[in-house]
Structure 1
Amino acid sequence: MKAIDFNHFGDADVLTLVDAPDPSPRPHDLLIKVHAAGVNRADLLLRTGHYGRPDFGDSNLIGLEVAGEVVAVGSEVRGFKVGDRVMSITGGGGYAEYARFDYRMAMLIPEGLDYIHAAAIPEVFVTAHEALIHLGRLEAGESALIHAAAGGVGSAAVQLARSTGARVFATTEAKKADRVHALGADVVIDYRDEDFEQVVMEKTDGVGVDVIVDFVGTPNFARNIQSMNYGARLVQVGLLAGGKGAQIDLERVLYHHLQIMGTVMKSRPQPVKHAMVQRFRNHWLERFGDGRLSPVIDSVFPLSQAADAHRRMETNDSVGKIILTN
């Protein structure tokens, strides 16, 4: 099969189209013909050596998110059959013509949703649900602050917060503000020219927000704490700007009854990942079928142009998901 691989760590030019062995399904696996694959920040980190060259469970090839047609099922698979249209998070191997993965990570693609849009759902929406709803416990009538709201997970989190009935604050660049407003954000903050802490406290009459989902890390941390309501929850999903040297006001944490949590999917045990997918599927999947939720597509590249897709993500100009197609 054709697949994307690289021989050494480096910039996007190291990604090349190669011939690779076809994967074989294990007892709990689905084997699919990949029609589309999502590009994620983790792919860039893998390419540049952040993780080494691990096998995340399914393949040592790059790619963590796919949509396609089932062509074979393992002996222990339940609830799926050859010919099903599925989307899934994978433990590697998404940038290829065929991919295998544990069937408990898969979801049937809702009728009427194409493969490109389906490939933009699993990684970002499962992560957003886990952070915002499962850990953050966001409820209708509360308020949420979503950082990096034009990105894949951020744009998903804005939609889920809106659908939950929360008031949504979102940070992004000014040039992306209209897109983020359209996703459902009530207050969009230009993080380059505005202090999000000041805006949040002004717009909430000094109360703060109930849930914060942050991907940035240290530069946001102290202001996140100051932007939190009594009993508020901060869920740290990424560290795009680093995670060292953060300062914390422990008195505010103590007397405001604040909670600070971190979540990373790749390093979790497989049963935990199964549960994350199931929680998302049970809560939201039907809403993609009737159009109440829709993944945001920034751009689409053929698999052979994976390097260009990575360059697009590295510009930080994208809004929503970048997709590769076969």
Structure 2
Amino acid sequence: MQAIIFDKFGAADVLHIGEASEPVLRPNDLLVRTRAAGVNRADLTHRRGGYGWPDFGDSTIMGLEIAGDVIAVGEHVEGYAVGDRVMGIVGGGAYAEVARIDYRMAMPIPDGLDYVHAAAITEVFVTAHEALIHLGKLQPGEKVLIHAGSGGVGGAAVQLAHATGATVFATAQASAHELVRRLGADHAIDYVNEDFAEVVERLTEQRGVDLILDFIGAPYFERNVNSLAFGGRLVQIGIMGGIENARIPLDRLLYRHLQIIGTVMKSRTQEVKHGMSRRFKERWLANFVKDGLTPVIDSVYPLAQAGVAQQRMEDGLNVGKIVLTM
């Protein structure tokens, strides 16, 4: 089969298309003819050597989410058959014509949804649901601040928060404000020219928000804590801005009874990942219909241009998901 391979860690131009062996079917696996694969920041980390060759999960081939057609099923698989259209998160191997997925991580592609959109759902929406609903305990009527609201996970989180009945504050570049409002944000904050903490303080009459979902890390940490209402929760889901010099106002944490929760999907056990996928599927999958939930697609590239696709993400040019097609 054709797959994206590389011989050394480095910049995006180390990636090239070549021949690789098809994955071996195991008892709990589906073999899937991949039609589309989502591009994620973890792929960039893999390419740079952040995980090392032997430690990237199921495959040395990169890629974490797929959409395609089942071509074989393992002996312990339940609920799926050859010919089914499926999407889901894999432990590596998505950048290839054939991938394997644990059937407990797979989901049926909703009727009417194409492969490109299906490949852009699971990583971002499962992550957003876990952070907002399962860990963040977001309730109807609460106020939530979502950073990077025009990104993949951020855009998914804005949609889920709106569908939950929360009042949604989202940070994004001014050029993306129309998009985040269309996704469901009640208030769009220009993080380049505005201090989000000052905006939140003003719009909530100094009360703060009940929940914050943050991908940035140290540069936002102190202001995030100061922007939380009594009993508020901060879910830290990324550290794109670094980890150095993160300041925490302990008096605010103590007297406001705040909670700080960290989460990352990749390092969790398979059993935990099964639960994350199941919770999302049961709560939201039926909502991916016309005029319902939808992933934001930034751009689509053929598999052979995986390096170009990753460079777009690395340069911070994408608004929404980048998808590869086979």
- For residue 288 of structure 2, give the secondary structure of its aligned residue in structure 1: helix
1:296-311 to 2 correspondence within 5 Å?
A: 296-311=296-311
Deviates more, 1:242-251 or 1:59-68: 242-251
Q: SS at the partner of 2:101?
A: strand
1:74 is aligned to 74
| Distance (whole Å) between structure 2 residues aligned to residue 308 and residue 148 of structure 1 | 22
1:33 aligns with 33
Q: Aligned with 2:268: secondary structure?
A: coil
Q: Structure 1 residues 54, 198: closer, same or farther in 2, change over 3 A?
A: farther
Letter in 2 for 1:223: R
* Other-structure match for 2:235: 235
Aligned to 1:272: 272
User: What TM-score do you get using the length of structure 1 for normalisation?
Assistant: 0.98
Q: Cα distance, 1:55 vs. partner?
A: 4.3
In structure 1, what is the equivalent of residue 313 of structure 2?
313
Instruction: Tell me the equivalent position of 2:83.
Output: 83
Partners of 1:134 and 1:280 in 2: how far apart?
Answer: 9
Paired residues of 1:211 and 1:232 also in contact (CA < 8 A): yes
Alignment match, 2:46: 46
CA drift of 1:300 comes to 0.3
Deviation string 1:102-147 (CA, Å, 9 cap, x unpaired) is 1100000000000000000000000000000100000110011000
Alignment-mate amino acid for residue 207 of structure 2: V
Offset at residue 56 of structure 1 (A): 3.5
Tell me the amino acid that sits aligned with residue 108 of structure 1.
P
Structure 1 counterpart SS, 2:202: helix
1:70-149 to 2 correspondences below 5 Å: 70-149=70-149
Contact 2:126–2:276 under 8 Å retained in 1? yes
Look up the match of 2:255: 255
Equivalent AA in structure 2 for residue 16 of structure 1 = H
Question: What whole-Å deviation, never above 9, does each CA across 1:24-83 have from its counterpart, x for those lacking one?
Answer: 210000100000000001111111122222444321110000000000000110111100
Which consecutive unaligned segments of at least 5 residues does structure 1 have?
none
Deviation at 1:244, TM superposition (A): 2.8
Question: TM-score, normalized by length of structure 2?
Answer: 0.98
- How many aligned positions are there? 326
How much does 1:290 deviate?
4.4
Question: What 5-or-longer segments of structure 2 have no aligned partner?
Answer: none
Runs of 4+ in 1 over 4 A off after TM superposition: none
Please state how far the C-alpha of 1:174 moved relative to its aligned partner. 1.2
Partner of 2:217: 217
Structure 1 range deviating more: 312-321 or 128-137: 312-321
Partners in 1 of 2:51 and 2:189 — Cα distance? 33
Structure-2 residue corresponding to 1:192: 192
Letter in 2 for 1:148: A
Aligned-residue CA RMSD (Å): 0.9
C-alpha distance in 1, partners of 2:32/2:58? 13
Instruction: Name whichever of 51-60 and 149-158 sits farther off.
Output: 51-60
Q: Work out whether residues 151 and 321 of structure 1, in 8 Å CA contact, stay in contact via their aligned partners in 2.
A: yes
Q: Take 2:55 and 2:82, find their aligned partners in 1: how far apart are those partners? A: 26
Structure-1 residue corresponding to 2:166: 166
CA separation of 1:160/1:113 partners in 2, compared to 1, >3 Å: closer, same or farther? Answer: same
What corresponds to 2:21 in structure 1? 21
How much has 1:180 moved relative to structure 2?
1.2
Separation of aligned partners in 2, 1:44 and 1:20? 20
Percent of aligned positions with the same letter in both sequences?
61
Distance in 2, matches of 1:247 and 1:50, equals 26
Q: Which amino acid aligns with 1:101?
A: I
One-letter amino acid matched to 2:203: K
